[in-house]
Amino acid sequence: MEAKKKSQANEKKEEERAALLEIWKYAFAFQPLAVLKCAIELQISETVERHGGSIALPDLSTALRCSPSALHRIMRYLIHHGFFQQTPTIPHQESSLCYTQTPLSRLLSKDGMAPFILLQSSPAELVSWHGLSRRVSANGVDSAARGGDAWERAAADPDHNKLINDAMASHARFAMSAIIDQHPEVFQGITSLVDVGGGDGTALRTLVKACPWVRGVNYDRPQVVSVAPLCHGVDQVGGDMFEMVPKGDAVFLMWVLHNWSDEECIRILRNCMGVIPKNKGKVIIVEAVVKEGEGEDEFSKIHLALDMVMIAHMEKGKERTFKEWEYLLNEAGFTKYTVKDSWNIVSVIEAYP
């Protein structure tokens, strides 16, 4: 009896010790984002790449005009988290340290995920996170008090507009390549595709390059399409998807519906269904499909994080489970739909009138 009590007490102590260690992770949870922002601003990844993928600490600190000892500590932190590798691995030999790229550190470049990280760590986005509890509580701040909804705020601030468009483009490049690679049949037989809320047109540019038979219409708010890069095969059209959607064989909606309430999504989906051919048209939705409980997978953490982004920044938006997607599609009047997962964090839902 005594021994059992003792072992229970030890087990409890062990659990408490593990919890205390775990909580430190959260106490400093903001840090990885801050250090990545620092690495991106210093252009560490690009600099290592320019030096043939490998650079010694003294050369890196000269190139970046940084103090070698602070830079060494930043690199030590990054390396611990899988960004960059160092040779030799013997400690206390700072001057002979050489840094090389890893698949993760390559993503810290402009063509990787740097623009997305810069948006997430921007002062404007961080302000929203500070108001999370207010938004969850019943008397949450309404959008007028915040200077309009996310798109109105972007329209009023060209720098923030660019930050958003570039961030979306970095995700769009990876997501679209993954879909074209894994599910090329999604775009077969489509000659004209309207990307509703298409941002700066990156998804369509990636598509027409891979599938030159497709002509694209990139449809977004005027403030977005007016600064979008031009591309052969893609027309830029400005407008409001709640008012009108241009006609096409199919409509594409990536990371648009998660920004809106169920009622708004149903309105958008009905507008999209109204402009595609009844017999062979389809609406292609690219979004997260949240899996709960037993069904959780390697994407679940990211899906739940995205859902928090929706509360912090989008007010009415949310990430949806398959059941919730089904509800929207049924209410909008679609008769058939299929879901395809991809190796990216988004799935492809094809919905037919």
Catalytic residues: 258
**Tokens 């106490």, residue located:** 27
Residue 47: name the closest of 103, 115, 87, 106 by CA: 106
Q: How far is the CB of 145 from ligand SAH (least distance, A)?
A: 20
CB 239 within 8 A of CB 222: yes
Residue 216: name the closest of 241, 239, 198, 240 by CA: 198
Distance of CA 74 to the CA centre of its chain: 25
SS3 category, 268: helix
Q: How far is the CB of 44 from ligand SAH (least distance, A)?
A: 26
Distance of CA 53 to the CA centre of its chain: 27
Report the alpha-carbon distance of residue 349 to residue 257 in Å, rounded.
Answer: 12
Report the alpha-carbon distance of residue 25 to residue 11 in Å, rounded.
Answer: 22
Largest CA distance in the chain: 80
Nearer to ligand SAH, 199 or 281 (CB): 199
Report the alpha-carbon distance of residue 179 to residue 345 in Å, rounded.
Answer: 11
Q: How far is the CB of 299 from ligand SAH (least distance, A)?
A: 16
Nearer to ligand SAH, 44 or 175 (CB): 175
Report the alpha-carbon distance of residue 225 to residue 236 in Å, rounded.
Answer: 6
Q: How far is the CB of 259 from ligand SAH (least distance, A)?
A: 6
Enumerate binding residues for ligand SAH (CB under 6 A): 151, 168, 171-172, 197-199, 203, 220-221, 224, 240-242, 254-256, 259
State the DSSP code for 186.
G
Please count the CA atoms within 13 angstroms of the CA of 314 that sit on its side-chain side.
17
Residue with nearest beta carbon to ligand SAH? 197
